[in-house]
């Protein structure tokens, strides 16, 4: 039902002011915009009608809460209750940047924004377009990733146009996202800080800055947790992406993995063939930047099997990437030895 007239604001080569986009948001409309992680689909966080439109456009289950984006630290006070000293320390070190912090919510934050939870997720994005849009709107923006639910997160303006043209009021096109995977989600609402979703801000960095051990929720796919048994981030229970093709993640000694891939290719009679996602010599950060866009390419090329080679570098960013790979593959994972 692509019936809406979507206004496209192209800021890829030239900056234009964001007054019109901000006005759409103030009127309760929804507008997609770039951030440094992935593109977001925004609406005014304190306006439940705007938030309802976001769920509808994405086809997202309404119990999956949204991240609220701010442009200045003082906006936290509009959203969160019981702001503790750890927030300021983390904001100083990581904001603006790819870290989302969960705090007890103010009553004024609509249940729809937080999926009925008593907490709210907050992040200050490191992207001038996003920050200026929030400032001009004059209100924090709820924004999940700007993809149709079940498709890879969009890291380029073109991805957003493919998914949301005709379904939203506006799309702002900016640079390709430099981080490429979604923010680290850190829960500060309990006694101990807990990572609910891994990202490029790592457990080690967070622990160092806070001067205390940061835990990792044990139910994270592809991540050995700290044995914590607590409710996970609601979003982690949904399959994030099921490519049209089958997908498998292979891990092991590189020559053995490459040998296995040759074997798999030989055994298949398929017309469309196999796409291999191999990040080879890339650092974990470089690999994370391009992963989602490679998944989208695989869909376009209409392959019937995607083989992803697990990131060689199993540092924390490598594990965050592995988490996305395993989700995309529906946990289809093989160790080659
Ligand atoms: O990098 C990002 O975080 C991007 C950009 C646009 O900022 N946004 C993003 O939003 O990835 P989304 O909606 O696709 O993912 C938000 C995640 C979900 O897993 C959701 O369940 C979790 O954050 N979340 C949000 N609010 C929460 C809360 N109050 N408690 C626990 N988890 C929460
Ligand atoms: Mg998402």
pLDDT digits (tens, 9 = 90+) for 235-272: 555 556 777 889 999 999 999 999 999 999 988 877 66
CB-side neighbour CA atoms (13 Å) of 205:
16
| Alpha carbon distance 221, 325 (integer Å) | 9
Residue the block writes with tokens 């991540």: 223
pLDDT digits (tens, 9 = 90+) for 46-105: 999 999 999 999 998 878 899 999 999 999 999 999 788 999 999 999 999 999 999 999
pLDDT of residue 223: 38
Collect the ranges in the chain with pLDDT lower than 50. Answer: 219-231
Q: Output the CA 32–ligand 2 centroid distance in Å.
A: 13
Pocket of ligand 1 (CB under 6 A): 35, 37-38, 40, 64-67, 98, 100, 102, 114, 117, 119-121, 123, 125, 143-145, 182-183, 185, 196-197, 233-236
pLDDT of residue 234: 58
Sign of the Cα pseudo-torsion (299, 303, 304, 310, in order) = negative
Tokens of 333: 């994972």
Mutate to test the pocket of ligand 1, among 54, 171, 185, 239 (most ligand atoms within 8 A of CB): 185
- Which DSSP state fits 106? P
């Amino acid at each position: 039902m692509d019936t809406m007239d979507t206004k496209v604001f192209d800021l890829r080569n030239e900056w234009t002011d964001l007054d019109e986009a901000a006005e759409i948001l103030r009127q309760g409309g929804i507008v997609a915009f770039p951030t440094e992680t992935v593109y977001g689909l925004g609406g005014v966080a304190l306006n439940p009608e705007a938030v309802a439109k976001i769920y509808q456009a994405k086809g997202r289950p309404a119990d999956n809460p949204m991240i609220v984006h701010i442009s200045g630290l003082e906006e936290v006070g509009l959203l969160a209750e019981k702001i503790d000293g750890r927030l300021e320390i983390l904001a100083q070190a990581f904001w603006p940047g790819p870290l989302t912090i969960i705090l007890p919510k103010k009553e004024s934050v609509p249940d729809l924004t937080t999926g009925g939870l008593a907490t709210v997720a907050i992040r200050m994005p490191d992207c001038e377009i996003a920050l200026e849009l929030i400032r001009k709107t004059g209100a924090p923006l709820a924004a999940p990733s700007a993809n149709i639910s079940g498709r890879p997160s969009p890291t380029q303006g073109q991805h957003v146009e493919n998914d949301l043209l005709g379904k939203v009021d506006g799309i702002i096109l900016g640079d390709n996202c430099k981080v490429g995977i979604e923010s680290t989600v850190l829960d500060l609402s309990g006694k101990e800080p807990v990572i609910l979703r891994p990202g490029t801000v790592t457990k080690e960095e967070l622990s160092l800055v806070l001067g205390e051990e940061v835990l990792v929720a044990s139910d994270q796919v592809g991540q050995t947790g700290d044995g914590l048994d607590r409710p996970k981030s609601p979003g982690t229970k949904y399959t994030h992406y099921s490519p049209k093709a089958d997908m498998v993640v292979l891990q092991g000694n590189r020559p053995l993995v490459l040998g296995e891939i040759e074997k798999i290719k030989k055994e298949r009679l398929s017309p469309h063939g196999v796409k291999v996602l191999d990040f080879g010599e890339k650092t974990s950060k470089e690999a994370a930047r391009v992963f989602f866009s490679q998944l989208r390419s695989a869909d376009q090329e209409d392959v019937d099997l995607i083989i992803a080679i697990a990131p060689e570098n199993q540092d924390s960013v490598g594990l965050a990437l592995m988490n996305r790979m395993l989700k995309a593959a529906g946990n289809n994972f093989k160790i080659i030895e």
